[in-house]
Amino acid sequence: MTFALAGNQNSGKTTLFNHLTGSNQHVGNFPGVTVERKSGGIIGHKDDVLVDLPGIYSLSPYSSEEIVTRDFLIKGKPDGIINIVDATNIERNLYLTLQLIELRMPIVLALNMMDEVRANHGSIDTERLSERLGIPVVPISAAKKEGLSELVSQAKAAAERRALPTRIDFCSAGPVHRTIHAISHLIEDHALRINVPERFAATKLVEGDAPMMDALMLSENEKDMIEHAVKEMEDEAGTDREAALADMRYAFIEEACKACVTRVGESKEYRRSVRIDSLLTHKYLAIPAFLAVMLIVFWLTFDVVGGNLSGLLGAGVDAFIGAVDASLINFGLNPVMRSFLVEGVLSGVGAVLGFIPIIVSLFFFLSILEDSGYMARVAFVMDKPMRKIGLSGRSLAPLLIGFGCSVPAVMAARTLSGRRDRRLTVLLIPFMSCSAKLPVYALFTAAFFPRYQALVMISLYVGGILLGVLSAYIARKTVFKDAPLPFVMELPNYRFPSVKTVLRLMWDKAADFLRRALTVILTATVIIWFLQSFDARLNTVADGSGSMLASVGRRAAVIFRPLGFGDWRVSTSIITGFMAKEAVISTLAVLTGGAAAGLQSLFSPLSALSFLLFTLLYTPCVAAVGVIKRELGTLSAMITVLYQTGFAWAAAFIVYRVGMMFI
């Protein structure tokens, strides 16, 4: 049997999903984390599948990830719905519940976050609530794993018995009530034909839902009758159609909550959040506070924690490679084979492995910021400045995810409602320094700017953002002239970050990086080693400059000479960087023997800087381009590749030429 997990954003759906299925989906105290549906088998019930859906507030969707949810509920025909409701915010959450009940499917309400309700000395009479709504209600705490087995057995029981909600009518007598009944009568046959519950169809028509109107294939005459009835209802109720329905639902919810929910004032989490927000979302202090927080995060990552650990790990990796090399020489292995193992495989992969600590610690801090609820504030605070460049606060989440990897970032842009907002956001994602660029920065800054390492790194991050802002500004003045959609986001309460979520995210990042090191990077280094060890007739070459690779690299190098790095080895690394940006490092390690002295023979500090800027900006890797193509089409993907590469060339050129004037 298939169960759909539906609920508002940030109500704990993914937390519940992870516990019930043993999966590892990303949980975040930030609305809009889940953008695709994910399914998984329920532990202990191996024939039952649970589907985690993006959060929605109603069944009248606006953005594309809301459509995912609605389509799955209506067309996917799950055997049952588990409606998860945030008990600390029960009135708003029940608004969706009432609409789900209209779908006439077996449904169980999972009343989540009961731990917080209890901690605030509140209580909810679940039996009475269940009577009012006509569906089973199970109190749970997804985070504390309370009530989960009860929930599963209730959901299974309801689905097996095909138990439908016992109540279908939430109206109080009045014009809205009469209109819904009249319309459901009128469209009964049409609804039956397309297999949607007539009452659900009727409320959608009262709301004025155009897709439903089309799906029902009504005659002109019937459409007129409906519009007429709705017009009459609006006149009588004195509000427009959507508000009339919303008023009706909220009246019911208010009644029900008055009877079932006992609350002792505001929750202490809420009061604490308001106190913290008086500082962090303060009119003048908010943005300096954000900058200070980011500065601390980067400083801790690059200088204090990650930097030192990376140094240690890097030294360990070098020692290991040295030991292997020595023992292979001792053993008397064929020199070509030894070169393959040591210079091809080990030094290529080893060159990127050392950077795991930096990446993991950056994500450690970012996930703490996200899980505590701070990132939602940042989106809220940044909404106004972002409007100046044609974006809204909602674009901030995808852009921040872009610091990790462009692939999920582009996907996260689905939470944006309009195509215009989505395209502009995706255009900016490559300007964020993804975690694959980090090893390049770290290696070069250590070799060329040892005293100012953290400063140069932060400048690259900030520089990327500023150049992105510049691009957005240009785009706004030329192609994307209309204003972004308005942005409303509720601020979740601050929560203490869950250790498990943070650890899981760190592990995910490390595992992801390792996987890439062992697949893409390994393949790239082996190919590079092969191409640089042989000439076109497959004879081994004494040094790389006679190899096949050198002749290709030399041709490409012409393009990069004006930027200060015209050596064939550098242009080769830029080409392999298109596969994955870390490959820039592994390629240079294979081609220069891996020592810092090798790098210093290829670059001056100035050309190193120009190279870093070029690496930051030039086309995102194949994987990212692929996902842009999938989300927005081939044209957008091509524009991204060309625009980024052109922009990178120009920026590196300017930095190098201007720098030359001062040296």
Residues that bind ligand GDP (CB under 6 A): 7, 9-15, 27-29, 33-34, 55, 112-113, 115-116, 141-143, 371, 495, 498
CB of 93 to ligand GDP, least distance (A): 11
Is position 267 an interface residue for Mg ion (rule: CB under 5 A)?
Answer: no
Q: For Mg ion, which stretch binds (CB under 5 A), given 25-33, 265-273, 278-286, 301-309? A: 25-33
Q: Crossing angle, helix 453-478 and helix 634-662, to 10 degrees? A: 130
Cα–Cα distance for residue pair 382/465, rounded to 1 Å: 14
Nearer to ligand GDP, 65 or 207 (CB): 65
Which one of Mg ion, ligand GDP, none interacts with residue 498, CB within 5 to 8 A by kind? ligand GDP
Is position 8 an interface residue for Mg ion (rule: CB under 5 A)?
Answer: no
Q: Residue 252: which of 139, 166, 133 has the closest Cα?
A: 133
Nearer to ligand GDP, 115 or 150 (CB): 115
Which one of ligand GDP, Mg ion, none interacts with residue 433, CB within 5 to 8 A by kind? none
Residue nearest to ligand GDP (CB): 12
Which one of ligand GDP, Mg ion, none interacts with residue 141, CB within 5 to 8 A by kind? ligand GDP
Nearer to ligand GDP, 203 or 493 (CB): 493
| Number of residues engaging Mg ion in binding (CB under 5 A) | 4
Interacting residues of 377 by C-beta distance below 8 A, sequence separation 6+: 277, 280, 281, 286, 491
Q: Residue 397: which of 368, 356, 426 has the closest Cα?
A: 426
Q: For Mg ion, which stretch binds (CB under 5 A), given 8-16, 240-248, 349-357, 427-435? A: 8-16
Cα–Cα distance for residue pair 380/376, rounded to 1 Å: 6
Q: For Mg ion, which stretch binds (CB under 5 A), given 27-35, 145-153, 226-234, 569-577? A: 27-35
Element (H, E) at 6: strand 2-7
If you compute the radius of gyration of the chain from its CA atoms, what whole number of angstroms results?
29
Nearer to ligand GDP, 28 or 484 (CB): 28
By the 8 A CB rule, do 614 and 441 touch? Answer: no
Is position 34 an interface residue for Mg ion (rule: CB under 5 A)?
Answer: yes
Which one of ligand GDP, Mg ion, none interacts with residue 142, CB within 5 to 8 A by kind? ligand GDP
Nearer to ligand GDP, 28 or 564 (CB): 28
Nearer to ligand GDP, 25 or 636 (CB): 25
Cα–Cα distance for residue pair 210/15, rounded to 1 Å: 34
Q: Both tokens of residue 504?
A: 């899981």
By the 8 A CB rule, do 306 and 406 touch? Answer: no
CB of 415 to Mg ion, least distance (A): 11
Nearer to Mg ion, 56 or 570 (CB): 56
User: How far from chain centre, in Å, is Cα 409?
Assistant: 5
* Contact pattern for Mg ion over residues 75 through 114, marking x by CB under 5 A: ----------------------------------------
Which one of Mg ion, ligand GDP, none interacts with residue 533, CB within 5 to 8 A by kind? none
Which one of ligand GDP, Mg ion, none interacts with residue 390, CB within 5 to 8 A by kind? none
Element (H, E) at 70: helix 64-75
User: How far from chain centre, in Å, is Cα 401?
Assistant: 5
The dihedrals phi and psi of 536, each to the nearest 5 degrees, come to: -65, -20
Which one of Mg ion, ligand GDP, none interacts with residue 625, CB within 5 to 8 A by kind? none
Nearer to ligand GDP, 55 or 80 (CB): 55
Q: Residue 476: which of 412, 420, 550 has the closest Cα?
A: 420
Which one of Mg ion, ligand GDP, none interacts with residue 547, CB within 5 to 8 A by kind? none
Q: Which amino acid is at 40?
A: G
CB of 408 to Mg ion, least distance (A): 13
Nearer to ligand GDP, 28 or 136 (CB): 28
The Cβ of residue 162 has, within 10 Å, a number of other Cβ atoms equal to 10
Nearer to Mg ion, 69 or 532 (CB): 69
Which one of Mg ion, ligand GDP, none interacts with residue 619, CB within 5 to 8 A by kind? none
User: How far from chain centre, in Å, is Cα 469?
Assistant: 20
Cα–Cα distance for residue pair 559/246, rounded to 1 Å: 62
Place of tokens 């042989």: 534
Cα–Cα distance for residue pair 475/429, rounded to 1 Å: 14
Interacting residues of 573 by C-beta distance below 8 A, sequence separation 6+: 583, 584, 585, 587, 588, 591
CB of 43 to Mg ion, least distance (A): 19
Return the beta strands (E) in 245-295 as ranges: 261-262
Which one of Mg ion, ligand GDP, none interacts with residue 371, CB within 5 to 8 A by kind? ligand GDP
H-state helical runs in 340-452 = 347-353, 356-372, 374-388, 396-401, 406-412, 419-428, 437-448
Which one of Mg ion, ligand GDP, none interacts with residue 120, CB within 5 to 8 A by kind? none
Which one of Mg ion, ligand GDP, none interacts with residue 29, CB within 5 to 8 A by kind? ligand GDP
CB of 79 to Mg ion, least distance (A): 22
CB of 88 to ligand GDP, least distance (A): 8
CB of 12 to ligand GDP, least distance (A): 3
CB of 85 to ligand GDP, least distance (A): 10
The Cβ of residue 37 has, within 10 Å, a number of other Cβ atoms equal to 17
Which one of ligand GDP, Mg ion, none interacts with residue 112, CB within 5 to 8 A by kind? ligand GDP
Cα–Cα distance for residue pair 322/33, rounded to 1 Å: 44
Interacting residues of 279 by C-beta distance below 8 A, sequence separation 6+: 285, 289
By the 8 A CB rule, do 38 and 21 touch? Answer: no
Nearer to ligand GDP, 142 or 397 (CB): 142
Span 579-618, contacts to Mg ion by CB under 5 A? none
Which one of Mg ion, ligand GDP, none interacts with residue 179, CB within 5 to 8 A by kind? none
Nearer to ligand GDP, 12 or 348 (CB): 12
First to last CA, the chain: 71
Q: Residue 60: which of 196, 230, 205 has the closest Cα?
A: 205
Which one of Mg ion, ligand GDP, none interacts with residue 143, CB within 5 to 8 A by kind? ligand GDP
Nearer to ligand GDP, 116 or 383 (CB): 116
CB of 34 to ligand GDP, least distance (A): 5
Is position 14 an interface residue for Mg ion (rule: CB under 5 A)?
Answer: yes
Place of tokens 């400083």: 299
By the 8 A CB rule, do 595 and 534 touch? Answer: no
Nearer to ligand GDP, 344 or 492 (CB): 492
Nearer to Mg ion, 14 or 573 (CB): 14
Q: Both tokens of residue 606?
A: 């100035």
Residues that bind Mg ion (CB under 5 A): 13-14, 33-34
